[in-house]
Amino acid sequence: MSEIQNKINGLIKLREEAKMGGGQKRIDAQHAKGKLTARERIKLLLDEGSFEEFDMFVTHRCTDFGMDKSHPYGDGVVTGYGTIEGRLVYIFAQDFTVSAGSLSKTMSEKICKVMDMAMKMGAPCIGLNDSGGARIQEGVNALAGYAEIFQRNVMASGVIPQISVILGPCAGGAVYSPALTDFTIMKKDTSYMFLTGPKVVKTVTGEVVTQEQLGGASVHSTKSGVAHFAVDTEEETIALIRKLLSYMPQNNCEDAPLAVCTDSINRLEDSLNEIIPDNPNKPYDMYEVIKAIVDNGEYLESQASFAKNIITCFARFNGQSVGIIASQPKYMAGVLDINASRKAARFVRFCDAFNIPLVTLVDVPGFLPGTGQEYGGVITHGAKLLFAYCEATVPKVTVTLRKAYGGAYIVMSSKHIRGDINYAWPSAEIAVMGASGAVEVLAAKEIAATEDPEAKVKLITEKEKEYTDKFSNPYVAAKYGYIDDVIEPRNTRFRIIRALQSLATKRLVNPAKKHSNIPL
């Protein structure tokens, strides 16, 4: 056998060794927990045969605490690039079989290299997280590694889509990278995120809590809003990533890919003519409206279990990707509150950053009142949503279905904050407030002066009817040009598509500045 063939055989052997990560025993332990290995996850996610790996032979440089005795290839993370539906993506997957996926300086360098290349090439970056945190043996070098990653997350924000997937532990400083990316997906039962673990919590506060209760997928997808999606299996996670990317462009200089539309533009939805109840205080399901107007009734909802009074989802109109922000009258009457404002604001800003048009469906009675909201800073949080819509330069189409009261009317992509095309259904009510509240202000003295109970009730009823007749319709706003047209509900799909087509060449640039100062 020639010398060169010996070297080739040596390379093949080293590759096989690197692909085993921490060894068969640890791979088996990973499978026993119901978890896939880093390489298995990448193989499932990327198009078959498309993965090209970087830095397979990198090893750590630590010599303290016995670390010099073992130098596994790859050092706990698999990095490289490949394609998803033929589109270039960069990826890193932490390998729990090597030092529990803990982050070393060399591991961070591998991740940073992939992120740098994703920025150069203008392609999405996907991180599959399954790590025990910072590698304690490396001390400040591990912390430096995290900081280098965070800096790149921030520089990439709004330039390329960044998706974080939590498939195991993610604790301490490690949580900040996912928090800085665009979307975070958590797998139920096997993943968790928190800054300080249950032991520290018990020591400091005396509170006894499990990992799942402190930072499981259900907690972060329903209570904190940290996770945008919670999934049951790793296979479901992979399918979700592929679907999510299908709605996004490669980078901020491109448009999202157009899909082939098999759903007629002219499709009428007669059910929409009857979906608004006669009683203005009776709820209906906004999901039914969304399903009726988007292509083939298909949409992908973000943060579905968090702040359910507002819906944020991706969908398509005539094959064009859009972001939908919609009030949900079925939950808390569709009011805006702290969490709903935060949720919608971030979604609006993502869509604006990546040239995805915004479609807003409005049925909002106002902001949620009470000390809990005021003390929690609802003014500042509500201003985030206002700021996001005001700043957005993408095409903005708004449809007011029923209520649009007070400041909430302004905030939800009204004409006054650069809404491009604003439609209303005949059932729309655009006013400062509802009839009962308005009458309490407008006729306060007259009502107070009426002593007879029956006469007082009659007076209030008459005044409310007068206010309702004047404002419980869209025509006052339409008279001033604040509503571009009052449309028949069943024509909504067609009118939105035509509006988006007309806005395809929209050009709007905000004033030159270093950056804005959004209320945080």
Catalytic residue among 122, 139, 158, 173: 173
Catalytic residue among 158, 376, 407, 437: 407
Supply the DSSP symbol for 433: S
Confirm whether 197 is a catalytic residue.
no
Supply the DSSP symbol for 284: -
Query: In which element (H, E) is residue 179 found?
Result: helix 176-180
Give the closest residue to 200 by CA, choosing from 192, 212, 208.
208
Please give the Cα distance from 471 to 486 (Å, whole number).
14
- Residue written as token pair 């599959």: 128
Return left, alpha or beta for 117; rule: phi > 0 is left, psi -120 to 50 is alpha, else beta.
Answer: alpha
Length in residues, the chain = 520
Residue 301 burial (C-beta neighbours within 10 Å; 0-12, 13-18, 19+): middle
Please give the Cα distance from 223 to 229 (Å, whole number).
13
Report the amino acid identity of residue 222.
T
Confirm whether 407 is a catalytic residue.
yes
Beta strands in 412-479 (DSSP E): 421-424, 429-431
Catalytic residue among 172, 366, 419, 434: 172
Supply the DSSP symbol for 252: T
* C-beta atoms surrounding 66 within 10 Å: 9
Please give the Cα distance from 216 to 153 (Å, whole number).
23
233: CB partners within 8 A, 6+ apart: 187
For β-strands 229-231 and 183-187, DSSP reports them as parallel
Please give the Cα distance from 446 to 90 (Å, whole number).
69
Supply the DSSP symbol for 321: E
* C-beta atoms surrounding 262 within 10 Å: 8
Q: Is 357 helix (H, G, I), strand (E, B) or coil?
A: coil
Give the closest residue to 359 by CA, choosing from 503, 154, 166.
503
Give the closest residue to 126 by CA, choosing from 86, 92, 172, 173.
92
Q: Is 302 helix (H, G, I), strand (E, B) or coil?
A: strand
Confirm whether 173 is a catalytic residue.
yes
Paired tokens of 262: 């098999």
Please give the Cα distance from 142 to 121 (Å, whole number).
27
Paired tokens of 99: 């030092």
Confirm whether 66 is a catalytic residue.
no
CA 434 and chain centroid, separation: 32
Catalytic residue among 408, 435, 438, 499: 408
Give catalytic residue positions. Answer: 172-173, 407-408
